[in-house]
Each structure stands twice: as structure tokens, then as C-alpha cells.
Structure 1
């Protein structure tokens, strides 16, 4: 189906199943696995329309939208879902399945990194989010072994498998694929040291229902405020410390502000704790060590040139290199970061 015919199908779905009469429908920001549209109705209202590809598990997407609704009901800035006239979260017609939410105007993705008042704003928003989702029917928070959050043994197996694949299909020298093969070899060699550093984590960390994909593209900022948290995943238990560190210690933030990320992290954790005092201080102290360990144990995107060559764009290449560099920066200043957090958490 062509892009033009997709636009026509989206316009028809909006009119028929949502009682939205579109004055215009245009392609919106590209999604990782979805085609997105922005629709404007005759009253000037704007709507964000996400079209799911064939084969999508629509029930899983419904659960993700419902999780966002639960967070919104607790005061987290999540765009409201527009339900169909029959009350459905997702509509299907003409070969497309779509969801419709409020359009968030005058906002930018957090990919530019955190600075100034954004550190505290993001920490506070994530704290409110985790406090709300801790009461989700999928189950209360529970302890999990720290080794499950940063699984060094699993990382070793995956890196060995990846290196075997690179040995079978040697990359051309000088390009991103060659960098991925070299970096995978380096990461495997570094794992014993990583494991020793992770031994200093507490024996267990708190796992609970979380957003699930709280990366910079899914956090929209407006000035020094959080405009919206978007693109939830279905309810699942993961480390709250991992999710907080993933967003406030995004590699691009760490590298762009080498002198600011330690005090910025302290402001974010302080705001998080005010919004969510239930998370143990030990989890919050673990945030930078978990963030560094998770990056060191990650195979992404080192496998992308083999698994999905079409996904290797200049932006992905830059992000992959940033992830690798940021892990080194986090390790270098880890003792300092933890000492600052101890002062905050007293």
C-alpha cells in the first residue's frame, strides 16, 4: 500500500470510527516500527495517529496504551488516548490498525540531552511515574538479583556468538561494521573487570512495572518542563534504577556535558526521591553503576550490521559509538557520582 493510499485509509478510519472529520492528514515523525501521521480536524484540533504494521501483536499494543492511561490518571504528563466510538483503544479497517492520541505541540525529544532545570523535571516525572506504576494490577514491586539487571554471563555468551558470526562474515575494513566487530571483541575482554565492578551493587534491586522503553525519543520536553511521556510498552517488571539511569544518563547527555552530569544526576535523583520516596535509597545509589554496567553488557547496536543492515544509518552509527564512549566516562567518574548521591540520600 502506498503512502498516499495509507493517508486516505487513515482519514477514513478517523471519520468512520473516531468521529473525527479530518481537514488534513500528513505523515508525522518516523517511528521505530510504526508509520505515524498528524491529523488536523475542522475545529483546529490536532491528533497523533500511529499505524501499526501487519503482524503487530495488537493486544500487546492495547496493554501498552492502557498502561499509559494509568500513568496519566496518576498525574504523569501522558497524552490522552482518543478511543473509538465503541470505546476501543485501537481501531482496525482497510488493512490498517491505528491508535489516536492528543498531539503534543511545541515540544522536542530529549535527544538533545538534559541541562539546567531539566534534570530535576525529568527526575520528578520518572518518580511520579514509578510511584503510580508500583500500584499496577500486574503486581507490586519485588526484589530481583542485581546480576539479573546487568547479566554479565549472558553478555559473554551473546558477545561470543556475535564474534563467531563476524569471523564467518568478516566486515570490510574501515566502516561501522568493522568498528562493531572490534568493539565486540573489546567488550568481551573487558567483562571480567565489569563483573568485578558490579559486585559492589547490592545483592538485590527493586523490580516493578515500568514504562519499558523510556529512552530519549519517548520523553518530550518543553523548555525546562516535561511535556509528555510517550510510547509505553506492555506492563512488565524491570529495575526502577535501570529505567531512571537509562533516561537521565543517556549517552548523549553524558558526553555533551562531561562536567555537568554528576551534579545533574544528583538533582534528578533528589527530585525522583521526593516524588517517589518508596524506592529504597540503595536502588537510587545504584543508578550510575547500573547504567554503566548495562551499557558494558549490551550488544546493541553491534549486531545491527548483521541482523538488520538497512537499520544502520548515520544516526545509529553515532549513537552506537556514543554508547561505547559513555560507558567509559561513567566508569571513570563512578566513585565521584556515588559519593555525591550518598550526600543527597542521607
Structure 2
């Protein structure tokens, strides 16, 4: 009822119905239908949210929409704002994307090229963002083995102080953290084959499979941008096209699929150096190997440990092994694409 009143008062939307929408990581989401049959996605931010930063994130999405990326249009308030606040509640409203599914089911068929082209166009548009043009950084800053070592040492010390039960996800997290720490010297040696620098630029910031909506083999929408900041374009491309669930579900398809995605990306964004595109699978594998997520969740946020998170944690760990195992093959295929 509070959301319905806010929509009517500040957005001039008279809702015929408001229902609970898909859950968000840090927001409560709703679906609203107005009396003319229009449908709206309403995101309610929790107390303490940095609303100014959320406005910057919404502006980033609007910029890419103007550049031709499929991003849902943001509905502005009667005063022209992208976020409305009243009675302790802050919300944003965007067009609802109907008949679409997230990319959590993985990529296949024509989706590889569609996603590669969309991410290429996204990065081409965001390369012109006022925050600053693309710039090179040392590859070790993208896959920071030294930082990973410190974080794993800290995590293992916490597990030592509060040992988990001998079975279950927490025990697996503690064991896997130990394995990750022991493997870091080998990871560092493998990452030495990366180019000395990779390009960073303003990117989406959270281009994970829940934030990419697909309709058939086409990209229906890119959602949930983060505030603008510079990160590796190769890292962001690899994060979405080499999602662990895609790699594991399609062991015979992910390498040729990656090649199609990279080829489509390059056609849409020829400014990213070929060396960066060749580095996509190595960066993806290195990033997974250096990550402590979700190994820290049983300690940091036990309530977040759900069966879905447990499955995703296992998938991330297993996919890292698959990427390392077939890395030379993947890079050879990409070399052919990038000649």
C-alpha cells in the first residue's frame, strides 16, 4: 500500500495492482500494473542506502540506453528525479521487461554472439563517460594474487578461531580456502602470461547473469548498473560469457561459444586491444582463483547461505578448474578469431 501511494503521488501512476517482484541482492522489488495496462518494475532501497550513488548508477544505465543498449527506461517523478523518497522509503521505477528470463540458465546457440555484441556496444558507449577515458593498468591489479593471499590468510584465521562443523557447506568453505591458498603460487605463475597491462574503463560494474535478461536468443535488457568506476573490460566480458554455470553445463560448447562472443564483441567495439580479448579466459580463471566469495559467507552473513548459494559456490570452484585445464585450447581458438 505504501508503494502504491508513492506511485500515485510522485509518479502519476495509478496502480491497479502491486505485487512482490523478483528478489534483489539488497533491495525489495515490486511489479506494478497501472489502469492502462502499463507494467512497471519498482525497486525499493533499504534504509541507509546511498541514494546519490544509486542516482549515478541509474544515470549510467540511461547513458547506455541512449547509445542503443537495451536498458529499460527509467520513469521520472513529477519533479524530474529518478528516485523518489517519502516516509522513509526510497524507490526507483523502470519499464517492466516482459517475457524475458535471466541468463542464469547459461548461454547457448545464438545467445553467445548476442551477448558479446551487447557487451561490446555497452563498453563502446561507456568509453565516452565523463568519469574518464579508458586507461591501462597493470594486469596484476585485475587478478591480485598478493591481495588474495592476505584475504585467504585472514579467512583461515577466522575459521581456525571458530572451526565449522565437520560436514556441510561451512566445512567445505574452510577446506576450499586452504586449497586456494596453497594453489596461489601456481596461479601467480599462470597469470604471468597475461599482457603487462590491460585496459580499464567505466563498465556496468555488476554484469552477472541475474542482471542480463534474454528473450529467445536475443538480449532483452541489461539491468542493475552500479555507479561508474573503472574496471577491466576483459574481466567484465569474461564474467558474463564464462559464468560458471555456463562453463559446467556446456563442456563442449563454451570454447566455440566464447569465440563467437569475442568475435561479436570485437565487431561492436573494435577499440579494445586484441591482447585484452585474448586474455578474457585467463583473467576469468585468475579472478575466480583469487576470489574468497562465497567462502566467507558462512562467517560474514550466515543468513545468506541458501541452497542456491551453496550450489553457486561449488560451481565457481569447479569452473575455475575447468578454465585452467582448457586454457591453452581456449586461447588458441581466440587467436584464430583475433587474427
> Which of the five TM-score ranges fits, normalised by the shorter chain?
over 0.9
Residue of 285, 302, 312 corresponding to 1:319? 312
Counterpart secondary structure, 2:119:
helix
Counterpart CA distance in 1 for 2:39 and 2:63 is 23
TM-superposed deviation, 1:278: 0.4
Residue of 269, 280, 285 corresponding to 2:262? 269
Counterpart secondary structure, 1:130:
helix
Counterpart CA distance in 2 for 1:295 and 1:284 is 18
1:190 maps to 2:183 = yes
Residue number in structure 2 paired with 1:174: 167
Counterpart CA distance in 1 for 2:193 and 2:215 is 37
Residue of 100, 124, 127 corresponding to 1:134? 127
The runs of at least 4 aligned residues of structure 1 exceeding 3 Å deviation read: none
Counterpart secondary structure, 2:200:
strand
Q: TM-score, normalised by structure 2?
A: 1.00
Residue of 29, 45, 49 corresponding to 1:56? 49
Residue number in structure 1 paired with 2:245: 252
Residue of 279, 303, 311 corresponding to 2:272? 279
Q: Please list, as runs of the form range in 1=range in 2, the aligned pairs for 1:228-239 lying within 5 A after superposition.
A: 228-239=221-232
Counterpart CA distance in 2 for 1:294 and 1:88 is 37
Deviations along 1:166-185, whole A, 9 cap, x unmatched? 00000001100000000000
TM-superposed deviation, 1:70: 0.1
Q: Please list, as runs of the form range in 1=range in 2, the aligned pairs for 1:1-346 lying within 5 A after superposition.
A: 8-346=1-339
Deviations along 1:227-281, whole A, 9 cap, x unmatched? 0000000000000000000000000000000110000000000000000000000
Question: Structure 1: any 5+ residue segments left out of the alignment?
Answer: 1-7
TM-superposed deviation, 1:95: 1.4
Counterpart CA distance in 2 for 1:217 and 1:173 is 32
Deviations along 1:6-38, whole A, 9 cap, x unmatched? xx1110111010000000001100000000000
Counterpart secondary structure, 1:136:
coil
Counterpart secondary structure, 1:161:
helix
CA RMSD of aligned residues (A): 0.3
Counterpart CA distance in 2 for 1:12 and 1:185 is 52
